[in-house]
Structure 1
Amino acid sequence: MHTPTPRSSMVPVLVAGSIVTAVTLGVRATMGLFPDEIDASLGVGIDTVGLTVALQNLIWGLGQPIVGAIADRFGAVRVLFVGAVIYAAGLLVMATASGPASLYFGGGFVTGLGMSAASFAVVLAAMGKLVDPQRRTFALGIATAFGSFGHFVLVPLTGVLIGSLGWRTALALLALVAVSIVLVLRPLRTPPAGVPGGSGTDTAPDAATAEAADHDEPLRAVLTHAARHRDYVMLNAAFFVCGFHVTFIGVHLPKSLTDAGHSARIATLSWAFIGLFNIVGAFAAGVLGSRIDKSRLLSIIYMGRAVAFVGLLVLPATPLVALGFGAVVGLVWLASVPLTSGIVLGQFGVRNAGTLFGVVFLCHQIGAFAGSYGAGVLREATGSYDLWWWLAAALGIVAAALHLAISDQPAARPGDPAPEHAGAGLRHGGASAAG
């Protein structure tokens, strides 16, 4: 069995994972700054830009389980390298767009394909295999927090670039930023599955409960088992809501705030505040997720989002409210990611982590498609996003309720001992494997 990554060796993994996540999530976060500029330049309508980003997220989600399986089989670095190149190419095509078709192809299909391969899902799955289970959720929280740092830096910087150089040049420069991750990928190397010390055998002894059962299990059997596991299915449903929330906000928050009478500066700052405060939120989730039930924390996160959405609707449209909204939502923004991925790792182990989290992430991206496209259509039809904010709040309550019923425990397989004979061991394994 592979020896867990020593603390000293964990540092390069953390640094590389954090940089890649910061760049990829940071570039993705800038998409909300482009709708007005693209519409003003091409006259395509906000709904067209919303559909472009919706397609981007759907392709990202559809590709994620496949890309995750490839990364599990052949290693994460190759997948991330190819993804970075495709991601940059898609942004360049989007930068030269002349109408809806080229926006859908470049900004939707190509960029989405690149994002699926150069995504935080691949990075977090790789880190989960390289970091020992006792420090796993902490490491995932650190990487996610740095993703928010990328958001905080790149959103205002991109706003300046758009204002001074135009949206096309800004997208071209973002393509250069996206491809730069190829320079730091080496520490994220994971041995191919089936190689001694590879992704099939790199868990610590206390993760063996969740891992040993699927060590020789075919991927098809693992997927079938996961599809029949109630907690895993509910986790997929809850992560649909997460995708709905973050992509709706990421694409439409600036426009929603300017519709309410705020200046473009306040709208951009509110969006940037989400990234800034999520550094705290994601780090806290990583720390608390190693000590407290992850599902309960996720329930609090989704309920916190619902309260923030209602507050934005009912409180006066002042700059303080707009900035406060960014701060509150930031605390519960991507804090869901290390906790959700930690639950998947705890339930099923690391051997097929990329694939199984890829399936969960596909549900996230289906929600992202609905959140982005539906909001754009509603805004064009009614001139307001209010109804979509109420829907987002209601879905937050549903996700909070789902997480009250989700267990962090390793998934029992056919032939496993009954809970009364193995419950203590499973509880110990679940805490260790996911933490």
Structure 2
Amino acid sequence: MANSNTPPAAAKPGAPLALWLVLLAAAGAFALTMGTRQTMGLFLSALNTSTGLGIGSISLAFAFGQLWWGLTQPFAGAVADRIGTGRVILLGVALVALGTFITPYMTTTAGLVLAIGVLAAGGAGMAGPSVLMAATARLVPLRHRGLATGVVNAGGSFGQFVMAPIAIGLTAAVGWASAMQWLGVLVLLALPAAWVLRGNSQALAAQAAAASGARALTAREAVAQALATPSYRYLAAGFLVCGFHVAFLATHLPGVIAACGLAPEIGGWSLAVIGLFNIVGSLGMGWAVGRWRMKSLLSLLYAVRGLAVLAFLLAPKTPAVVLVFAAVMGVTFLSTVPPTAGLVAKMFGTANMALLFGVVMLSHQIGGFLGAYLGGSVFQATGSYDWVWYIDIVLAAGAALVHLPIREAHPPRPAASAA
């Protein structure tokens, strides 16, 4: 008889029902947390009008949220690896709901930093990709791991696609403040995922270590080994660029569109289109990681981003152009996650994956902080977003190049590793 603490999916790892239950739980949780966070940019103008703080000050709260979302993930991953994924997700979902619900009551920069940056973003980090991807890798068979990470990642995109129109509709019906609070309530639908994904990878690693007579790596040893691996550092550097790009678009694309003289609704639909086409990109990338070299796929994605931004700057700013640009960005938006997570698992195994992918996500969110903050600061100083786009193109070219020397193989490991 299976242990009562063993997740249903872990009892029979190859069972189709168990597999889809895991994917539904992880993708659904990511859809709700990511979808809520990615629609916050729609409320930036309303927050500015309500508080009078200025775009720069409000962008600081969003930027801090990007950074804090990343800072929480290595720690949340380490706790999930050892204590259990379910408890971490439970707390994370509750904090996202609380932070989102109280945001309309905040009238100072410090209050917005607390609600958006600490509570909502921190909770989303706890119930974010490092914990969800690691739980999925632990609970599904190896042969399905690439596609499974693509499905989970697509969940975040589906959340953005669905939540943006919901936010627009609720704002029109009940006002921006009540709309934001309803989004906070909707996040609570992710709570059942805490039960489905419960368990931890260190228990499995300990069993493997006992069977082989070896010793599993501690969290400190795992991080030290990863940071000493050049390929891991290159991967983190490239993911920093991804964070810059994603956070700038999520926070400021509605403002970019408004600056072009287009209707505000185009901004909301652009975010929805990004979410829709990111589903295509995520599923396609989940399929591709099992067939082509992951570092080559990442280089291609970053190169396409840079070229798309350049084309957007040169093209006339019509609704059709904006939506096509959003579609192209959607295909590349978060499709970097499956190959990045896949490389971490391929290089270091799953025993400390939540922790090590969390460190890479921290790099991503340092870039996210810069993208969200510089977007508002540059616009406030120059009245235009052009210089941020120029920086983005240069960074995309650098990211395309930095992935080329990555070695897709296990680095030399001490005999103590049981991964």
Alignment TM class, shorter chain as reference? over 0.9
Q: CA deviation at 1:192?
A: 6.1
Deviates more, 1:347-356 or 1:179-188: 179-188
Separation of aligned partners in 2, 1:76 and 1:184 = 10
| Secondary structure, aligned partner of 2:333 | coil
Q: Is residue 343 of structure 2 the alignment partner of residue 339 of structure 1? A: no
CA contact (8 A) 1:191 1:199 kept: no
Distance 2:23 2:13 in 1: 11
Match of 2:107, SS? coil
Amino acid at match of 1:116: G
**What corresponds to 1:181 in structure 2?**
190
1:254–1:267 Cα contact (<8 Å) kept:
yes
CA distance change for structure 1 residues 306 and 159 in 2, over 3 Å: closer, same or farther? same
CA distance in 1, matches of 2:181, 2:131: 24
- Name the CA distance, whole Å, in 2 between partners of 1:41 and 1:246: 26
C-alpha change, 1:191 and 1:372, in structure 2 (3 Å) is closer
The CA deviation at 1:268 is 1.7
Match of 2:232 in 1: 232
Alpha-carbon offset, residue 96 of structure 1: 1.1
**Residue 42 (structure 1) shift:** 1.2
With 2-11 and 178-187 compared, the bigger mean Cα shift is at: 2-11
Counterparts of 1:367 and 1:302 in 2: how far apart (Å)? 14
Are residue 5 (structure 1) and residue 13 (structure 2) matched? yes
1:102 corresponds in structure 2 to 111
- State the shift of 1:120 in Å: 2.2
- The 2-side partners of 1:11 and 1:99 are apart by 44
Give the whole-Å Cα distance in 1 for the aligned partners of 2:408 and 2:161.
Answer: 31
| Cα RMSD (Å) | 2.0
State the alpha-carbon separation in 1 of the partners of residues 25 and 181 from structure 2.
Answer: 24
Residue 286 (structure 1) shift: 0.1
Q: Deviations over 1:183-242 (max 9, x none)?
A: 233221224624xxx355579xxxxxxxx8995222211111111100001111111001
Amino acid at match of 2:275: G
Distance 2:113 2:162 in 1: 27
More moved, 91-100 vs 138-147: 91-100
- What does residue range 18-417 of structure 1 map to in structure 2 within 5 Å? 18-191=27-200, 193-194=202-203, 198-201=204-207, 216-414=216-414
Amino acid at match of 2:198: R
SS of 2:192's partner is helix
TM-superposed deviation, 1:413? 2.1
Q: Residue 271 of structure 1: CA displacement?
A: 1.7
Identity %: 37
CA contact (8 A) 1:90 1:106 kept: yes
In the superposition, the TM-score normalised over structure 1's length comes to 0.89
User: Between Structure 1 and Structure 2, how many residues are aligned?
Assistant: 405
Letter in 1 for 2:120: T
Structure 1 residues 145 and 126 mapped into 2: Cα distance closer, same or farther (>3 Å)? Answer: same
Q: Contact (CA 8 Å) 1:201, 1:215: kept in 2 or not? A: no
Whole-angstrom CA distance in 2 between matches of 1:261 and 1:214 = 64
Please name the residue that 1:424 is paired with. Answer: none
CA distance in 2 between counterparts of 1:164 and 1:179 reads 22
* Distance (Å, rounded) in 1 between the aligned partners of 2:222 and 2:266: 48
User: Residue in 2 aligned with 1:17?
Assistant: 26
Shift of 1:58: 1.1
Q: 1:24·1:120 contact (CA, 8 Å) conserved in 2?
A: no
How far, CA to CA, are the matches of 2:338 and 2:281 in structure 1? 11
2:158 counterpart SS class = helix
Length-normalised TM-score, structure 2: 0.93
Q: Do the aligned partners of residues 160 and 353 (structure 1) sit closer, same or farther apart at CA in structure 2, a change above 3 Å counting?
A: same
Q: Whole-Å Cα distance in 2 between the matches of residues 213 and 6 of structure 1?
A: 27
**Alpha-carbon distance change, 7 to 320 in structure 1, aligned in 2, over 3 angstroms:** same
Structure 1: which 5+ runs fail to align?
204-211, 417-432
Q: Secondary structure at the match of 1:185?
A: helix
Whole-angstrom distance in 2 between the partners of 1:166 and 1:199? 50
2 CA distance for matches of 1:192 and 1:101? 37
Deviation at 1:177, TM superposition (A): 1.3
- Rounded to whole Å, the distance in 2 between the matches of 1:36 and 1:362 is 28
